[in-house]
Amino acid sequence: MLRWVACAALLPAAANAQGAGYWHTSGSTILDSNNKQVRIAGVNWYGFETGTATVSGLTVQDYKSILTSIKAEGYNSIRIPLSSQVIETPGTDLAINYSNGAGPINTDLKGLNSLQVLDKIVDYAGALGLKIILDHHRSDAGASAEGNGLWYTAAYPESAWIADWVALANRYAGNPAVIGFDLHNEPHLAGSAGACWDCGGASDWHLAAERAGNAVLGVNPNLLIFVEGVNNYGSDWTWWGGNLEGVAKSPVVLSVANRLVYSAHDYGPSESSQPWFNSSTTYASLVAQWNKSWAYISEEKIAPVWIGEFGTTNNASDLQSAVPGSQGQWFQSFMQFLGANENLSWSYWALNGEDSYGLLDFNYDPTPVSATKQAMLAAVQMPLTTASTVPAAPTGLTATALSVSQVALKWTPIAASGATYNVYFGTTSGSTATLLASGLTSASYQANNLNCCTLYYFTVKAVFGGNMSAASAQVSARTSTPPAPAAPTGLNAVAASTTLINLGWVASATVGVAYTVYSGTTSSSQTNVVASGITATSAAVSGLTPSTKYYFEVKATNQGGTSAASNVASATTKAPTVPAAPSALTAKPVSATEIDLSWTASASTGVTYNVYGSTTPGGTGSLLGSGNASTTFQATGLKASTTYYFTVRAVSSGLISSASNSASATTPAPTQVACHVAYNASDDWGTGFVAAISITNTGTAALTSWKLAWTYSGNQQVTQSWDGSFTQTGEALTLTNASYNGTIAPNATSTGIGFQATYTGKNVAPTVFYLNGVACK
């Protein structure tokens, strides 16, 4: 309290200054103590949460100089990350130097611990009119978010986390330089565990935020409570801390009204790949993602939203790019979105010169590394100053259409030397809130990549001394309409298969066209649209009928209209070919109930095979198997001591070949083996039954696998089995052991085997069983 009073005495009275005192909320806006709207437009200055236990840069620059640079560049606030460790056990061996090449630095920080250094930073920031937001970044000291995705660990339980916030609330009570607490950085799921929203229990982040927020407000009811999102809600995944979809169903409820601000983090593809970054990414698709994840909260006036972290490198391509899905497209679009939504607050990541996204260089010199980035951020700043320093609005704005996609803008520059300009546009009168360009040093601009034939509205604002003027008078211009395209020429059609015809043509002379393909079955009836929106000069038309002649024509379309039709081209789909017959069919008996077949494949590719068998030579025989993709087949469920005759046919495109050569084999006579089979169909309801089977090994050698076969005399059809898998062909059935019951020791019995079947008529039990191809008692 005394520290703040001493610093406040250094400042002139500014009762009407924007940003005065503690801040509160109203709907989606943040208001100062005089009920003037303010926008958090700040930077992240990190280091306290790491092993260095203090903000970075103090080895090369005085902290007052760094804070002055932040103020001079137009930022109004600083988000300072902390750890539970630095709050509970402040470091004393800090990364601070007390001189550099230019002279003494940080001399008033000598002998101070981490929290005492934080006090100094808070005090001087307050003296400059900067606001501070403290952020619980992690529990133990380290880099990035807490690995377990939670706001607590075994060493620092939730009770310690809340106690730490209460301690900070008491420490800075009565000091309006500290306007709020970001309760925890990037809560998220880590694998199958971690933070969640509206899931209940110890991992429910929004309930934990209520507990901590209410504890803080019990000490200082004037503070803003910032609650970040998670990374997953339902099936939607996004950045750590970036998903606030759960607010719609389960908002955070605090004990003091108008103190809640929701916070999201958002980054581009260089941080990590996300499904919404791709070759089809547009500004509109990014806005849809942001609205879904968090911006709807502001739009629907549920509460203010603060993007607590976002950033990019200082490379030109990572700041502004037209490449879909690129880092530059994301950042440029994000700045445009902030420009279009003044209620959205933000804090850039980060000030730190050692960060790849840093605003300053390694020496923490006051000039930002990238003038372009600084200008883009300045376009959406709100310095905490009096209205008297706001520059005059530009005048004399004119707009002239140059082409189907370009408009030239000119205006009269304001008197202030060094002013820059922001250009805004929209497609309806009065809707010029979308930022088109920022940081312009000249009083002219050419808007490119606009939609043709569209009426656009434009305004310009001046930026000077960290303040932004009112908008200029609005002007409009309509991009010109292109001529209708010429008709495509040289259309040709070539049949590729029984169902596919390939088309090609010569492009229309006009660029930016799309093509539509029409078809018909007569030379004058091309009315069926088979492809549209084609930007190439070729198309493949599929799903056609074999042996059919088709006629085609193509038309080109752009915003100027649709062309006449191309020449008509025709082609006849190919006739299907009957596959060749398989050859070299052989048959070999395997057991008293099985015969193996093999043959040479047909010459045609993509064929399957039907297998036929009979006990009499000649004729087609009965179908034993169809759709067989290989050139082997095992006929099962056969009778012992019986000669079988087989043929095979190939099937392709619905056509079937002639029969292969006939092959025959005779199953051997069954031999008795040392086994016993019990078959019991006790549960029978007239149209179906359940049967239980047990197999006893009455021999002296163990069975390592078994295959039990039998033939019904009726029409029984097995529908499911257990402790064994079945195959059935007609009346013949084969039951094979499961992976766990194939071994039957001597004098042992395998039980639990069974199946369910249906039937009509009589349900006569089989009398002969074959175990591994030989008869069994």
Q: Give SS3 for 560.
A: coil
Cα 277 from Cα 269, distance rounded (Å): 7
Q: Is 140 exposed, middle or buried (0-12, 13-18, 19+ CB in 10 A)?
A: middle
Annotated catalytic, 309? yes
Structure tokens at 132: 């501070």
Structure tokens at 694: 């047990």
Torsion of CA 742, 748, 751, 755, to 10 degrees: 50
Handedness of CA 660, 664, 665, 666 (dihedral sign): positive
Structure tokens at 364: 């923490």
- Return the DSSP state at 303: S
37-to-19, 43, 382 alpha-carbon distances in Å: 8, 19, 10
Radius of gyration (Cα) for the chain, nearest Å? Answer: 40
- Given the residues 73, 146, 245, 309, select the one marked as catalytic: 309
- Sort strands 643-652 and 444-447 into parallel, antiparallel or unpaired: unpaired
Cα 239 from Cα 268, distance rounded (Å): 10
**Among 116, 98, 115, which residue's Cα sits nearest to residue 107?**
98
Q: Give SS3 for 165.
A: helix
Answer for the pair 137, 228: CB distance below 8 angstroms, yes or no. Answer: no
Q: Return the percent helix, strand and coil in the chain, to nearest 5.
A: 15, 35, 50
Bridge partner list, 475? 458
Q: Give SS3 for 291.
A: helix
Cα 411 from Cα 458, distance rounded (Å): 11
Cα 148 from Cα 236, distance rounded (Å): 20
- Return the DSSP state at 567: -
**Among 358, 470, 380, which residue's Cα sits nearest to residue 41?**
380
- Given the residues 186, 210, 228, 245, select the one marked as catalytic: 186
Annotated catalytic, 186? yes
Handedness of CA 358, 363, 368, 370 (dihedral sign): negative
Other Cβ atoms within 10 Å of 434 Cβ, number: 16
Active site residues: 186, 309
